[in-house]
Structure 1
């Protein structure tokens, strides 16, 4: 077993102050570090102030770095992160593991990294000057690269996978982040995992009939003897005496008896030392696991197209049925790289094995068996895709490969002529050329449809249909014929089979590069799986534009044969992306996995779905014209509550929800989008019911995205609004001749809460007066008039003096309405008026509430009036204000028809005064006295801000209807029924000390004698809380 070397500076197995080392029940993980309890012996070894430290998201400034760790998925988890980046010089932060020893050839290292910040402020950066994250291994007095971050990468946590190769003796791993001058990037690391790194354990177990016993007591399969991999761990299976009948060419001295056909391109013999560390190049050879070891390679520079075909041929061999070739391959840097192995006779050229795609930065084993009835040569062809490299090493021929003596050698056929198409084009089967980006774009461009024939949509009856196996381990995907009738599969299908690779892990198959795709795009497939719960089948999306890999669908084994036809949403994506099938089962028993009849539905970018214009939706049947943005960090879910309460439509139906605490909800954004809508000649009103609940929930935005223009926020709401459905309206403006889209967006500010959406309705004409307005999105239809100018601003962007923070968010980024009352803007006695749109009363009495803020010196005066049928009635008049914060004003309205609210600021002739307004709200029923509240209609000015920086949480507002996720009393005190409302807080979320949940009243006037009376309900012992 791979273990850290035990000394004073290294961690020991188990738990303790140095970190948490845990095992994995899936693939075997003897050494794992999640940094929750310590650093597990990883040490910062830098020589400058640029260094690695252990930290949390809650200790960093919100908005930079990761917002959560990867292990826990919240701001309470720990990780390692770089700090204090240099300002003017290139510098590197170094992180070194404890000393470890004896890594098996199957060793795989996985870790999660989060790269944030950028070099956008640095002018003239080329590719080599971008920040580079590397993982290296130090052993035998050299440092060998294992992995470096891809050129493109989006925000969020990404997984790296590195293959260590067989290492005898001691070694250490080194992470490094190198930044050019003036580059403010930082990287975080979490969940470093070692898989299958231990040597096979010595034992006295009986070896099988097809196995041999190693010197150290473990067993090795006989077909793994003399294959270039130390499976035993002591070299017994690769002993030169035992393997003397095999012919191995390691290219350390020359090409042996193999012959490279002259190019260009051609197979070139080289070392990693000479090639350098460019992305895609091998970082070491396979024979010696060293930078100084030799191999053959063919490569293509970025943006130059495929390299052409390089050919390597063997001597001529006698006819045989017992000749096999083992070789080690390296395909990295391009999804279009290809390695093909043929046998060639004087009459035929037969493809025996083909590998296509990007297999990662590793050497993987391939074995090919030849059964040929006449003299033949082995021909290996390599084509490097754009920016990629194809390399081979350790070509091992079995004793059955006997050179032909005394006869004419086999002559290689001439290579096919040059393509009739130019660079950047592909040929149609029917003749003619099309641009390469039009192939596999879900639309037939060639007249015969050949450009879409090998793009993944297939029945597998005529081949793989464009799917390529990219596995590097004991499992692979291959075509298989159905032996007996089956409910789920027909004829030929793609099946999980035993592979020749030396690694241990899931099998992968990928489509060619696809796209672009539209928002309605889905992949349908039939599958069958027979496996225990450890086995699985999954679909992932590899988005090369963002550098992300997303899990789109998965199923686990159930102990019995299971299968069905499934629809996997792919959504709108830029070109290029790939779909990947991922599967893992134990084929030694009766387990199996098969996939068949793959189709892509409504994927072409210009396809308009029948429901595209259906923006009115109750979500009872489906999602109408709304679609999950598949590129979002986390997802909207179409469900019936799951502990969050009932829907708004029927009380027992469907709605859309977002749960930021779900395990898969990593990242900061979830978007619900429409497809492309026809231009709108007139404004329309979109009404909807929403839910924002929980002690630390984020923001819900409604956005308009006109084609070719910046998106605009039409409506926004931040923080908990209680476990109650609220109705909101937003006017969608006319877009002229421009198509547009509408999107609901959730931005996560914390990890505890839920967002819901239901009963959307789109009607002609603009919306009426808004019952609630925070001024975060726009001015809510309030019209300014008079001699002064009311304007919407935030402290960070405004030109008029105003409060440092708004009332809604309590931050400098929040918005409010403000008017300057200084003599230069509003002379003494002059007025600035702000008038709402007409309100239509629904009950005899309504409560008008708002928050106001006056400057400390000569603010002038604020008058608030209700205007009905041209008659004004004063609600409030104020010219001074106690304290420095926001104050709440309110008044009961008893209208007999439509009414408007008028805010009138009057100048006092001072120097720099101002009057500000925020959070206008109209509710049914008379206004209560300040700070008095039965919580039936709303929270009456009581507020409960949550702040992720300070670990403070918000109180909720709910009825007695039971919620599994937010438990509370099933009757309130006011009504004594489950329909009554109250404020509550679930103390189980508070966690460790230092956290709090505040419920604050509006500012109250000074009083010499006041009494506060309230009713409370608790289900915890009184000695455990402080109220």
Structure 2
């Protein structure tokens, strides 16, 4: 399908709409190819309003943009992958194309498809021991129960969650709060609040609409690069090492200037922070990605969520739908006072140098991962560049997956898969470590 700019008036719009679609799954996506070629898609003094292509969600009571693009991509087809998500009512989608103010630029759309949009299959077979049977008759992983996502398609996996602690941010911050430990604060807002194009959520995760709420770190002024915001939940009683206490949350990091998102735990007010999870690269599309953590500790502890502003205005970060399993027992008892140890001073005093692992030798940052051991035994410049047997750590590899699949470092014995390897490649034993692609939702 194509739109011809030469025969239309300035700033006019062309629109095509899908047939009425039925409710979609939580993992639903639309894939298509688009062709946008011509100077009319480039903003300039003579073309202040360039041509644009938008994909719009159309509900009975709301209409809002879920994807948009305005750029001359040259004479080639470009792929697009747009998150649709769980829609619990009939809806339509529309492609809407706007002609530029000045300048020729035609666009086309081809090969539209839907991916993982059907609800989970109904089965008469028994669900697995690690699965939950939905009221409608399908099976989903126990890991997705009470995580504020309707994975069943009838919301039965979210129906009996009184023992869990859930925060969807629809009314306020819930029991969470800004700690004042950063230079700025997390904001409470909805997607229909104006924000920079090219970043920020088009919808929240809870309602999957533009009027749902989340907490938000704005990358635009007055916030500047390096500003931090730290959000916390109340103290959790010591869990031991059972792993039963699990925290799940959804994060949004879309835009070319995205900074960092870190999750820590601490056992003392003013004490050291232990890093549980981080991300320092943007997601490849506008959606909320899921993370589940096991913040176990032998002492009472607190979870902290830290956002760091990146190097530009297209780098907003958002958090939505935080949940804790029943094994995470909250208390009003504050953490004991502690003192954060003074950081070890860097041995490097010249600009552009980084320390080796011995904390004595310094090398220029340009020598990192250049396949030459500049640090003693390569410890600090070559040991975190991807060569790895995964026995001790991830060797610098970072999982940047989006969607339901992710890479996990785990032992062979910890994987319940009859078709998987019986031992790792390094040691040949079931206690050796490997990196494995895992579907975190169990579908």
Structure 2 residue 304 is matched with structure 1 residue 409: no
Could you report, residue by residue, the CA deviation over 1:350-398 in whole angstroms, capped at 9, with x for unpaired residues?
A: 2222233222211122111222101100111222433322211011122
Out of 13, 37, 42, which is 1:92 matched to? 13
Partner of 2:166: 248
Partner of 2:321: 394
Structure 2 residue 55 is matched with structure 1 residue 135: yes
In structure 2, how many angstroms separate the alpha carbons of the residues matched to 1:351 and 1:433? 26
In structure 2, how many angstroms separate the alpha carbons of the residues matched to 1:121 and 1:107? 31
Could you report, residue by residue, the CA deviation over 1:567-601 in whole angstroms, capped at 9, with x for unpaired residues?
A: xxxxxxxxxxxxxxxxxxxxxxxxxxxxxxxxxxx
In structure 1, how many angstroms separate the alpha carbons of the residues matched to 2:336 and 2:14? 56
Partner of 2:400: 470
Partner of 1:119: 40
Partner of 2:281: 357
Structure 2 residue 291 is matched with structure 1 residue 366: yes
Structure 2 residue 284 is matched with structure 1 residue 344: no
Report the 3-state secondary structure (helix = DSSP H, G, I; strand = E; otherwise coil) of the residue aligned with 2:157. Answer: helix
In structure 2, how many angstroms separate the alpha carbons of the residues matched to 1:277 and 1:122? 16
Structure with bigger strand share is 1
Report the 3-state secondary structure (helix = DSSP H, G, I; strand = E; otherwise coil) of the residue aligned with 1:333. Answer: coil
In structure 1, how many angstroms separate the alpha carbons of the residues matched to 2:381 and 2:72? 27
Partner of 2:210: 291
1:626-1025 map, 5 Å: none
In structure 2, how many angstroms separate the alpha carbons of the residues matched to 1:167 and 1:120? 32
Structure 2 residue 185 is matched with structure 1 residue 258: no
Could you report, residue by residue, the CA deviation over 1:625-665 in whole angstroms, capped at 9, with x for unpaired residues?
A: xxxxxxxxxxxxxxxxxxxxxxxxxxxxxxxxxxxxxxxxx
Structure 2 residue 107 is matched with structure 1 residue 194: no
In structure 2, how many angstroms separate the alpha carbons of the residues matched to 1:344 and 1:210? 31
1:494-505 map, 5 Å: 495-500=435-440
Change (3 A) 1:307 1:99: farther
In structure 2, how many angstroms separate the alpha carbons of the residues matched to 1:416 and 1:130? 53
In structure 1, how many angstroms separate the alpha carbons of the residues matched to 2:49 and 2:267? 50
Partner of 2:425: 486
| Deviation of 1:161 (Å) | 0.7
Does the CA-based 8 Å contact 2:147-2:322 persist in structure 1? no
| Deviation of 1:164 (Å) | 0.8
Partner of 1:205: 125
Out of 83, 94, 97, which is 1:163 matched to? 83
Change (3 A) 1:331 1:501: farther
| Deviation of 1:227 (Å) | 1.2
| Deviation of 1:453 (Å) | 5.0
Could you report, residue by residue, the CA deviation over 1:782-831 in whole angstroms, capped at 9, with x for unpaired residues?
A: xxxxxxxxxxxxxxxxxxxxxxxxxxxxxxxxxxxxxxxxxxxxxxxxxx
Report the 3-state secondary structure (helix = DSSP H, G, I; strand = E; otherwise coil) of the residue aligned with 1:148. Answer: strand
Could you report, residue by residue, the CA deviation over 1:378-429 in whole angstroms, capped at 9, with x for unpaired residues?
A: 1112224333222110111221221234x44356876999x99xxxx96623
Does the CA-based 8 Å contact 1:272-1:282 persist in structure 2? yes
Could you report, residue by residue, the CA deviation over 1:743-802 in whole angstroms, capped at 9, with x for unpaired residues?
A: xxxxxxxxxxxxxxxxxxxxxxxxxxxxxxxxxxxxxxxxxxxxxxxxxxxxxxxxxxxx
Partner of 1:221: 141
Change (3 A) 1:275 1:500: farther
Change (3 A) 1:273 1:383: same
Partner of 1:650: none
Does the CA-based 8 Å contact 1:324-1:369 persist in structure 2? yes
Partner of 2:415: none
Does the CA-based 8 Å contact 1:213-1:219 persist in structure 2? yes
| Deviation of 1:233 (Å) | 0.9
Out of 313, 327, 350, which is 2:249 matched to? 327
Does the CA-based 8 Å contact 1:366-1:500 persist in structure 2? no
In structure 1, how many angstroms separate the alpha carbons of the residues matched to 2:337 and 2:50? 49
Change (3 A) 1:276 1:373: same
Could you report, residue by residue, the CA deviation over 1:113-160 in whole angstroms, capped at 9, with x for unpaired residues?
A: 12111238974268x734332212111321233222376845421111
Out of 272, 294, 298, which is 2:191 matched to? 272
Change (3 A) 1:209 1:88: closer
Partner of 1:174: 94
Change (3 A) 1:86 1:469: farther
In structure 2, how many angstroms separate the alpha carbons of the residues matched to 1:123 and 1:150? 13
Does the CA-based 8 Å contact 1:339-1:354 persist in structure 2? yes
Does the CA-based 8 Å contact 2:38-2:74 persist in structure 1? no
Change (3 A) 1:400 1:455: closer
Out of 16, 22, 29, which is 1:101 matched to? 22
| Deviation of 1:220 (Å) | 2.8
Does the CA-based 8 Å contact 2:42-2:70 persist in structure 1? no
Partner of 1:459: 388
Change (3 A) 1:143 1:237: same
Change (3 A) 1:252 1:106: same
| Deviation of 1:189 (Å) | 1.1
In structure 2, how many angstroms separate the alpha carbons of the residues matched to 1:141 and 1:413? 53
Partner of 2:355: 429
**TM-score, scaled to structure 2:** 0.80
Change (3 A) 1:497 1:150: farther
1:580-591 map, 5 Å: none
In structure 2, how many angstroms separate the alpha carbons of the residues matched to 1:155 and 1:290? 34
Structure 2 residue 229 is matched with structure 1 residue 310: yes
Q: If you compute each CA radius of gyration, which structure gives the higher value, 1 or 2?
A: 1
Does the CA-based 8 Å contact 2:151-2:157 persist in structure 1? yes
Does the CA-based 8 Å contact 1:333-1:388 persist in structure 2? yes
Change (3 A) 1:114 1:261: same
Partner of 1:812: none
Q: Taking CA–CA contacts closer than 8 Å with sequence separation of 6 or more, which of the two structures ends up with the larger relative contact order?
A: 2
Give the aligned length: 411
Could you report, residue by residue, the CA deviation over 1:317-373 in whole angstroms, capped at 9, with x for unpaired residues?
A: 110143211111111113753322222112542222223322221112211122210
Report the 3-state secondary structure (helix = DSSP H, G, I; strand = E; otherwise coil) of the residue aligned with 1:380. Answer: strand
Partner of 2:303: 378
Does the CA-based 8 Å contact 2:237-2:299 persist in structure 1? yes
Partner of 1:149: 69
Does the CA-based 8 Å contact 1:472-1:501 persist in structure 2? no
Change (3 A) 1:158 1:454: farther
Change (3 A) 1:196 1:295: same
In structure 2, how many angstroms separate the alpha carbons of the residues matched to 1:454 and 1:151? 40
